[in-house]
Chains A and B, each alone.
Chain A
Amino acid sequence: MGRKNDQGLSRRDFIKLSGSGAFALGANSGPFFLFPERAAAEQKTLKILQWSHFVPAYDTWFDGTFCKQWGQKNNTNVIVDHINLVDLPAKAASEASAQKGHDLFMLLSPPAAYEKQTIDMAHVYQEVEKKHGKKIDLAHKSTYNPKTKRYFAFSDAYTPDPGNWHKDWWTEAGFPNGPDTWEELRVGAKKIRDKTGHPCGLGLSQELDTSMAMRALLWSFGGAEQDEAGNVTINSKETMEALKYMKALYQESETPEVFTWTPPSNNQAMLAGRVSYVANAISITRQSEREHLPIDAKIMVSRALKGPARRIAAEHVMDCYVIWDFAENKDGAQQFLIDYIDAFHDGFAAGQFYNFPCFPSTVPNLKQEIANDPRANPPDKYKVLGDVLDWATNIGYPGYGTAAIDEAFKAWIIPTMFAKVARGDETPENAAKAAEEEYKRIFARWK
């Protein structure tokens, strides 16, 4: 006879109970318990690496909501790693060299140099376009190689690169709507610097924000790194004019701090109430809103500045997802991207309008949504970004974001050229000539 324990349960009852419990557990999780290898094979893994987003709420949504739901739906364990944006190139290089790493790797500029190590994304684009219509030209030019007719990356989103300006100081300087042209920037920034001491904050360092701002200046004056056919055109009279302009702007309105900057520096300078104007994405204003900083109502956003040739700016960052040739879950990675575009609007909202869609139909009421944002002060602060596609373009404009352009971008040729002239260490002629030599050397290697 079985002896009852203190709780009145006999040993026999206990064995029965635990036996039936184990059976039930085994029935539910049979494969895991009995055939762990098979179970592991059934549940796939998808490893993703991307940057730590400048709007942290986006990462919360991406990791905690979208990836989680997608993983459950597709019986996949989705692992997302985030790293600082400045570490992305080195990390990509190490994965490509080791032939091992993540299935999906997101870079923030066209990674054409990796074409031979990535799969063709034409299929992903086709599937997405079936549901959401054509992608924007910016995405095409940033991820397509016209020579090989391959898409080396897939772009879901881009980020506009508007101006951020201090309302009070610019109003006092006679520009209540902020600077609209490069000439107005020069005149207004000098007035502010002379009167209040606050410098202008266009970076001149070897970093992302400077690269974008200097390209915007170059293109606005009619210069470019290459033409549509991919020939080097940096050494032009338009480039000279842009260089002369930057030298004047630096000497009249900036301080040497701009030579030391890293990507967050202009955010910090603007939020600290130090500088009158910077070119950056909306991460600055989003931070001031999130942290309820007193300066929030004073920082305004404006379209890219108009130059003698045109109003134009680079995208601030271009999401470029690559799937390595050596990725272990290529199918899953492609399906993930296709499904991700279905949920793009949620990401657009979670990212607080930082990521603009490469498939416009995914955010059909974009203009209305950004024109009335309850977080913003005033609510129509971001309305100016409604026509961003009229002035945003790709790295390598007017050509494609080729491997040579990618390498030149990473070698910081444009920021260095502008910085040397601005400081007076080089004449515009010599700096443009030196840049041309660098470009030609790089372009020759990629022919």
Chain B
Amino acid sequence: MAIARRKIKSFGAAQSPLLGAAMFSPAVLYILLLVAGPFFLAIFYAFSDARIGNTELHYVGLENFRSILQSPSFRVAIRNSLIFTICSQIVVIVGANILAIALEQPFRGRGFIRFLILLPWVAPIALGAIGWKWILDSIYSVISWVLVALHFYKPFNAPMWLGEPHLAIASVLLVHSWRLMPFSTVILLAGRTAIPKDIPEAAAVDGAGFWRTQLQIVIPMMRPILSVAVLFGLIFTFTDMTVVYILTAGGPFDSTQTLPSLAFALGIQGSDLAAGAAISLFLVPLLVIIAYFMLRVAHRAEVT
């Protein structure tokens, strides 16, 4: 019996490096083929004159970067990428905290409400964005219809949610926030549940009110999990092009373009692969910073 156990143990030890490599290889392959490959191809294209339909490539140095830096659409895309990412995170974190506090308390129908809140996250984003497109449509918008029915606006003068640049930006922000709120809510809810009950209770005995308990005890204790929610949200929003592409296609006249949507519009739809690749490379610095912080958070969680 003891011999058999030893054999199994030695077999496991001998096999573990191979087994580990085998189990690790799908992830490595995935990263190499679908992340590293396109990334290096984008770098290669960004310094070339690559265009769709062209069979030859020539090195053009920094010409593509010089060209896009002069483009007003690119400057708008950078601005929008930052606005959408930062503002949606502010809305999401504030909203998700409120929802988490509300959903923490037991009440009738809590399970159903939690299910409803989670729906935007589990539904495909393309489907959700198409739904919002119809809600905000210039002809069939249900919001405009209600506003006209309530006599806030005349029939042909209702707000064009996707036709006015500031309204279109607000609409994209709204959809990003709607999409990310459930994810953050679930994370924060889990974080709140993990806080030992005796700490806020002790604070209450010491006379701390609701806001003081939240701001000085609960939120600081949830900082690691809050960081995870924020970092994931930043990545999802900064790299997303589905919402903009479906909702506004970057319009009106490029006023809602983001870096990914502009890269697609110029690179794939506009045939200028080199410009598209150069624009997409501007995503890298911010994503590197976010990745650094994510790894730090993960490391801290590992240590503690």
Contact = CB atoms under 8 A, between A and B. Distances in A.
A411 B270 contact: yes
A274 B140 CA distance: 11
Interface stretch (A9-17, A176-184, A250-258, A280-288): A250-258
B52 A261 contact: no
B55 A255 contact: no
Contact of B249 (A206, A410, A411): A206
B250 to A, nearest CB: 7
Contacts of B240: none
Given A197-B156, A259-B252, 5 more contacts: A197-B155, A204-B252, A255-B163, A407-B270, A441-B67
26 contacts: A89-B268, A90-B269, A113-B54, A197-B154, A197-B155, A205-B252, A255-B156, A255-B163, A256-B160, A257-B139, A258-B163, A259-B160, A259-B252, A259-B253, A260-B248, A260-B251, A260-B252, A261-B138, A269-B139, A403-B53, A407-B270, A407-B271, A407-B272, A410-B270, A411-B266, A419-B252
A93 B155 contact: no
B241 interface: no
Contact of A419 (B155, B157, B253): B253
A322 to B, nearest CB: 10
Interface in A184-206: 197-199, 204-206
A72 B56 CA distance: 40
Interface of B: 49, 51-55, 67, 72, 138-140, 154-157, 160, 162-164, 168, 248-254, 266, 268-272
A117 B270 contact: no
Contact of B139 (A117, A204, A274): A274
Contact of B253 (A268, A410, A416): A416
Contact of B156 (A113, A198, A415): A198
A96 B139 contact: no
Given A89-B268, A197-B156, A411-B270, A256 B53 contact: no
Contacts of A116: 53-55
Ordered nearest first, which 6 A-B pairs have the shortest CB separation?
A259-B252, A256-B163, A257-B138, A256-B160, A197-B156, A114-B53
Chain A contact residues, majority secondary structure? helix
A269 B138 CA distance: 9
Given A255-B157, A257-B138, A411-B270, A113 B52 contact: yes
Given A256-B163, A259-B160, A411-B266, A96 B52 contact: yes
Contact of B53 (A115, A259, A416): A115
A77 interface: no
A113 B253 contact: no
Given A206-B253, A403-B53, A410 B271 contact: yes
Nearest to A207: B249
Contacts of A441: 67
Contacts of B154: 197
Nearest to B141: A257
Contacts of A289: none
Interface string A97-119: 10000000000000101111100
A135 interface: no
A1 interface: no
A420 interface: yes
A275 B138 CA distance: 12
Contacts of A113: 51-54, 271
Contacts of B266: 411
B155 to A, nearest CB: 6
B114 to A, nearest CB: 35
B277 to A, nearest CB: 12
- Max chain B Cβ within 10 angstroms of own Cβ: one of A114, A411, A420, A434: A411
Contacts of A89: 268-269, 271
A406 B156 CA distance: 36
A411 B49 CA distance: 16
A445 B271 CA distance: 12
Contacts of B251: 205-206, 259-260
A425 B72 CA distance: 13
A342 B268 CA distance: 35
Identify which of B54, B154, B162, B164 gathers the most chain A CB atoms within 10 Å of its CB.
B54
A445 B51 contact: yes
A51 to B, nearest CB: 15
B152 to A, nearest CB: 16
A45 interface: no
Given A114-B53, A407-B51, A260 B67 contact: no
Contact of B163 (A97, A257, A412): A257
Interface string A397-415: 0000001001100111001
A265 interface: yes
A229 interface: no
Given A257-B163, A260-B163, A97 B156 contact: no
A266 to B, nearest CB: 10
B271 A90 contact: no
B271 A93 contact: yes
A117 B252 CA distance: 34
Interface in A422-445: 423, 425, 434, 441, 445
A419 B254 CA distance: 10
A199 B253 contact: no
Given A113-B51, A113-B271, A257 B249 contact: no
Contacts of B249: 205-207, 262
Contacts of A445: 49, 51
A96 B55 CA distance: 10
A406 B160 contact: no
Interface string A22-47: 00000000000000000000000000
B53 A260 contact: no
A257 B160 contact: yes
A113 B55 CA distance: 11
Contacts of B52: 92-93, 96-97, 113-114
A420 B255 CA distance: 10
Contacts of A198: 156
